[in-house]
Amino acid sequence: MRFPLNETDYLGTVRFTPEEESGGEQIELYMPTSLQFGDKVEYENVGIGALGAATSDTVGRTGDTTKLQSYADAMGGDNATDVMKLGVSQLVSTFSDKAGAVARDATRVAPNPNTRAIFKQVSLRQFQMTFKLIPNSEQEAREIGSIIREFRTNMYPEEIEGNFGYRFPTRYKIEAMYNGFVLQNILTEPCYLESVMTNYNPSSHAFMKSGSGSQGFFSEIDLSLTFIEGKTLNRKSIQAGF
């Protein structure tokens, strides 16, 4: 399946190939004006405390876990009095938040939570593509209808007989093409189709009549597709061209 039907109208295309044998037909659409690929990893803010900071900094600096500073070392030196005040303040804070606030006000010191950005996980990539489909013939109008039905069919899961559950929906391999060749710098892991938004006649009330005149077709359709990658990437994935 493809749109437009004339292959010479657009040399740049996006090809969607089902990964599963039961996933239906391959679909090829013209390259949209905006094709965005966003990579994202997640960090969380964690207060590791004074001892945690001393441990982390020592290991990070020396790389030797046998040279960790003890908690006594962290409390020593010219700052010992303030450290003791912090210890009292934190001890009082265990009774209630209000007691802790009173203790901090009385001692005029506040604990440093030593907040660090700690790596948490890699985010799954999402891709959104919008196509404006304007048929130039009845054949293209029918092809557009078939493409939309194909995408919607493969977005939904198949029900296991007896209503016991679902079989996973079809995954798509997405490839950016130019003149029939795959652009190697734009690759994805197999993706699930997360949403299909179809807007019929967004800027027109016109219809296209069939040759027999017994059926009409929408003259303009906006098709928005949102895909989500089936698994996360890692450093080797990027080095491999993803």
Tens of pLDDT along 154-204?
999 989 888 789 989 999 999 988 888 888 767 788 999 999 999 988 887
Residue 204: what pLDDT?
75
- What is residue 36's predicted lDDT score, i.e. its pLDDT? 83
CA distance 131 to 221: 8
Tokens coding 41: 């990893």
What Å distances lie between residue 132 and 190, 191, 207, 221, CA to CA? 24, 22, 15, 6
Longest dimension (CA), the chain: 95
pLDDT band for position 75 (50/70/90)?
A: very low
The residue whose two tokens read 């700052």 is 79
Say whether pLDDT at 238 is over 50. Answer: yes
> How confident is the model over 86-106, as a mean pLDDT?
60
pLDDT of residue 162: 80
Q: What is the mean pLDDT of the chain?
A: 79
pLDDT at position 219, please?
82
- Helix or strand or coil: residue 233? coil
User: CA 52 → CA 112, 113, 116, 126, 136, distances in Å?
Assistant: 11, 10, 10, 36, 67
Query: Where does residue 229 fall: left (phi above 0), alpha (psi -120 to 50 degrees), or beta otherwise?
Result: beta
Of 6-10, 17-21, 158-162, 229-233, the range with the lowest mean pLDDT is 6-10
Partnered with residue 208 across adjacent β-strands are 217
Residue 42 pLDDT level (bands cut at 50, 70, 90): very high
CA pair distance 96, 47, nearest whole angstrom: 19
Q: pLDDT, tens digit, for every residue of 214-229?
A: 577 888 899 999 999 9
Q: Other CB atoms closer than 10 Å to residue 185's CB: what's the count?
A: 9
Residue 95, pLDDT above cutoff 60: no
Burial label for 105, CB within 10 Å (0-12, 13-18, 19+), is: exposed
Domain residue limits, the chain = 2-40+123-239, 46-121
How much is the pLDDT for 110? 73
The confidence score (pLDDT) of residue 121 equals 93
